[in-house]
Homo-oligomer: A and B are copies of this chain.
């Protein structure tokens, strides 16, 4: 069985975990859960060399050194594709597809998600790769475990191979609809993990977004390669429209499929999600770094130095990072981005 190429996307600024995550050192490169960073854990999940080729890593210049250093203990040389600037996922994946052999199977993985059960991940990857070989464009359909309003959903269609056709992609629902989806059982979360053949992706992109395809192709051709580092040409890549793979391709293709997976997934999209992953119960307090919690429940301290004391405050997150202290209620974590200090630090 031919191997799968992991394509690790390192875009995104992760400001929802500000101040720990910053543009200068964003979320994938932080050890948020355990000793390994999310980026390293993503590589670890794809390090089975019976199953995977060395990864292709798409990343911005400003984070390249983090990625190189953190990938150093991964056997085999990763291929780095350095984006001159962020243009969202459709162009990023196109760069990787152009760098691979046309028939190689790409497994596109965000670099900043947490997955409790890597065996379930790999099992789903095998099923997805099998479908991809038949030119399906495959999404991981992550078993919904709560009525989340922050994710897009995938509605399951008829069975095909080890998976299903996609009936439809559904935008982030309101709470009422999210509850309906959860009860229905035919709706899965769209976690942004995809499998397809490189040539299939490029053909679909050319069909549905010919301008993006053309501009990315030109930038790639005019770029340079130095060993295992590819740099597309900045002037051409700057012209590429920003668009997600979901909007550009997945929602338009006639060959959308999905595989079901239940793997303890979280995108750790905010501080509340991180408290949930770190604690073992909703009432649990979590202390990372020097701190003490008195008379509180569901509260987290995460300090990189100063000693934090919390007294009588439930469901609060306190983060100290350098010269910044954030105190946020767990039900207000979506508003962290409003902080003046959050932009550009």
Mark A residues whose CB is within 8 Å of B: 19, 292, 294-295, 303, 305-313, 316, 318, 320, 323-329, 331-333, 335-336, 338-342
Contacts and interface: CB of A to CB of B under 8 A. Distances in A.
Contacts of A333: 311
19 contacts: A294-B339, A295-B335, A306-B320, A306-B323, A307-B324, A308-B325, A309-B340, A310-B326, A310-B328, A311-B326, A311-B327, A311-B333, A311-B338, A312-B329, A312-B331, A312-B335, A313-B313, A313-B327, A320-B325
A306 B304 CA distance: 13
A326 B306 CA distance: 10
B325 A339 contact: no
Contacts of A316: 313, 316, 327
Given A324-B309, A325-B303, A327-B309, A295 B332 contact: yes
User: Max chain B CB contacts within 10 Å: which of A311, A313, A331, A332?
Assistant: A311
Nearest to A321: B306
A306 B320 CA distance: 9
A327 B340 contact: no
Nearest to A326: B309
Given A295-B335, A335-B294, A325 B311 contact: no
Nearest to A310: B327
Given A292-B340, A338-B311, A341-B292, A325 B328 contact: no
Given A307-B341, A309-B326, A311-B328, 9 more contacts: A303-B325, A306-B325, A307-B324, A308-B326, A309-B340, A309-B342, A311-B338, A312-B331, A316-B316
Given A306-B320, A312-B331, A312-B332, A294 B338 contact: yes
A323 B307 contact: yes
Nearest to A328: B311
A292 B313 CA distance: 19
Contacts of A309: 19, 324-328, 339-342
Contacts of A323: 305-307
A312 B312 CA distance: 16
A234 B313 CA distance: 44
A341 B333 CA distance: 28
